[in-house]
């Protein structure tokens, strides 16, 4: 996926939605399929055979055309629409991460996504002091032209959204647009959908589960130049966001707190580990000033660019399957140990993933599901 930008027609958008909603197809597999077949329609046709070669007993479940069109219509009834990876409205920084969602369900003012963005996240059980510094930071950053992103959780997230609503805020949610969470922020979500932006990669009707929140967090950090953490315990979801930000090459900043307050344990630890210390808006602006004008990477879907790659030989498949197991193995190490080409390895991994036999880990390693 690379070139001069995606401009999907309604049929392509529907096919993209069917492909990313297909069983065992995540963002990485989606990219591999588009790269290999040049478009979603051709990839959909190839799914059953790919899964069979990967050892799958059944073809992956793929939403019907009617089901995809129903989801598009349900989102439209809420005033939303789908934007595709590489389309001008898609957050430019987010498209750079290796597991960027191919499609985002969007409600609100899409033009905000073209502005420099900083994330503010923190404890759900926030203190009064934490809420106060969050509001000051969000207002100050908004006044300086920054959009503030967060995860619409109670506490610090909600304070960040409320303080930046007038200047630009983005709420990334872990469920479908028709499943506000937490319920206490339903009214705030409705306001953001009118005055800011609400984003989700999850299907309509999806009730968020525990594992969906780290997925959401990677989007909050991925679309931002930096992540400011305000109040986070030593075992906190906000620290997951900070870790993801570091892995994505984003700046990590933290507000210090009292050593006597467990809600400051995580933020103080981040500062010890090298996060920029924040006591006011100017600290954030100073760290992020040089990054503000980063330009986007453009991607596109082009059937003419389908990847020509030979199928792995039976010997290559046997060697690769022998090397894989339940313990994670880096993909580049798999290439070296197997003696296979990179394209052969990628094809086999794609087949295994579509068959439901492969797990991809965030550090680029893979393992077999047993």
Task: Summarize the confidence of residues 276-291 as an average pLDDT.
Answer: 95
Measure the CA–CA gap between 237 and 123, rounded to whole angstroms. Answer: 8
Report whether pLDDT(54) > 70. Answer: yes
Q: Look over the chain and give the mean of its residue pLDDT values, rounded to a whole number.
A: 92
Report whether pLDDT(299) > 60. Answer: no
Q: Which of 263, 193, 204 is nearest to 234 (CA)?
A: 263
Torsion-angle region of residue 168: left (phi > 0), alpha (psi -120 to 50) or beta?
A: left
pLDDT 10s digits, 69-118: 999 999 999 999 999 998 999 999 999 998 999 999 999 999 999 999 99
Residue 119 is classified by DSSP as E
pLDDT 10s digits, 302-332: 444 445 566 777 788 888 889 999 999 999 9
pLDDT 10s digits, 336-356: 998 888 888 989 899 999 999
Report whether pLDDT(132) > 70. Answer: yes
Q: What's the farthest any 2 CA atoms get from each other in the chain?
A: 64
Are 160 and 142 contacting, i.e. CB atoms less than 8 angstroms apart?
no
Are 146 and 253 contacting, i.e. CB atoms less than 8 angstroms apart?
no
pTM: 0.90
Instruction: Find the distance separating the first CA and the last CA of the chain, reported in whole Å.
Output: 32
What pLDDT sits at residue 78?
A: 97
Report whether pLDDT(1) > 80. Answer: no
Burial label, 210 (beta-carbon count in 10 A; 0-12, 13-18, 19+): exposed
pLDDT 10s digits, 193-224: 999 999 999 999 999 999 999 999 999 999 99
What pLDDT sits at residue 339?
A: 87
Task: Summarize the confidence of residues 239-265 as an average pLDDT.
Answer: 95
In the chain, what percentage of residues exceed pLDDT 90? 81
Residue 228 is classified by DSSP as E
Measure the CA–CA gap between 254 and 266, rounded to whole angstroms. Answer: 9
Q: Which of 153, 81, 82, 151 is nearest to 119 (CA)?
A: 151
Residue with tokens 């999850």: 202
Q: How confident is the model at residue 254 (pLDDT cuts 50, 70, 90)?
A: very high
Alpha helices in 153-299, H assignment, sequence order: 156-164, 186-195, 212-222, 237-247, 265-272, 281-288
Residue with tokens 């805020």: 169
What pLDDT sits at residue 295?
A: 52
Q: How confident is the model at residue 149 (pLDDT cuts 50, 70, 90)?
A: very high
What pLDDT sits at residue 293?
A: 65
Chain Cα centroid distance, residue 130: 26
What pLDDT sits at residue 333?
A: 92
Residue with tokens 């207002």: 139
Are 146 and 139 contacting, i.e. CB atoms less than 8 angstroms apart?
no
Measure the CA–CA gap between 335 and 322, rounded to whole angstroms. Answer: 13
Report whether pLDDT(6) > 60. Answer: yes
What pLDDT sits at residue 3?
A: 42
Report whether pLDDT(163) > 90. Answer: yes
pLDDT 10s digits, 225-236: 999 999 999 989
């Amino acid at each position: 996926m690379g070139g001069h930008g995606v401009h999907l027609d309604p049929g392509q958008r529907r096919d993209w939605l069917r492909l990313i909603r297909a069983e065992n197809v995540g963002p990485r597999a989606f990219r591999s399929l588009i790269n290999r077949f040049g478009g979603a329609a051709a990839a959909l046709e190839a799914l059953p055979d790919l899964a069979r070669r990967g050892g799958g007993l059944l073809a992956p479940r793929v939403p019907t055309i009617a089901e995809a069109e129903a989801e598009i219509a349900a989102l439209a009834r809420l005033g939303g629409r789908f934007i595709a990876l590489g389309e001008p409205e898609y957050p430019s920084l987010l498209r750079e991460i290796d597991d960027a969602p191919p499609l985002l369900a969007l409600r609100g003012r899409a033009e905000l996504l073209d502005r420099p963005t900083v994330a503010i996240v923190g404890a759900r059980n926030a203190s009064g002091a934490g809420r106060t510094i969050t509001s000051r930071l969000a207002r100050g950053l908004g006044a300086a032209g920054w959009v503030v992103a967060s995860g619409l959780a109670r506490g610090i997230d909600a304070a960040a959204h409320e303080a930046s609503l007038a200047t630009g805020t983005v709420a990334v949610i872990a469920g479908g647009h028709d499943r506000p969470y937490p319920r206490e922020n339903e009214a705030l979500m409705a306001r953001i959908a009118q005055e800011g932006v609400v984003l989700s990669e999850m299907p309509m009707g999806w009730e968020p589960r525990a594992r969906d929140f780290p997925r959401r967090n990677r989007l909050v950090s991925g679309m931002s130049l930096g992540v400011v953490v305000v109040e986070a315990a030593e075992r906190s979801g906000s620290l997951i966001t900070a870790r993801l930000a570091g892995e994505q090459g984003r700046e990590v900043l933290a507000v210090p707190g009292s050593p006597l307050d467990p809600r400051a344990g995580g933020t103080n630890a981040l500062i010890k580990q090298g996060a920029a210390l924040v006591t006011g808006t100017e600290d954030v602006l100073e760290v992020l000033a040089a990054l503000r004008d980063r330009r986007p990477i453009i991607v596109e879907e082009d059937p003419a660019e389908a990847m020509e790659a030979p199928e792995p030989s039976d010997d290559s498949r046997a060697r690769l399957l022998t090397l894989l197991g339940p313990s994670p193995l880096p993909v580049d190490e798999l290439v070296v140990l197997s003696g296979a080409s990179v394209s052969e390895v990628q094809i086999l991994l794609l087949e295994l993933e579509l068959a439901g036999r492969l797990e991809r880990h965030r550090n680029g390693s893979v393992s077999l599901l047993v």
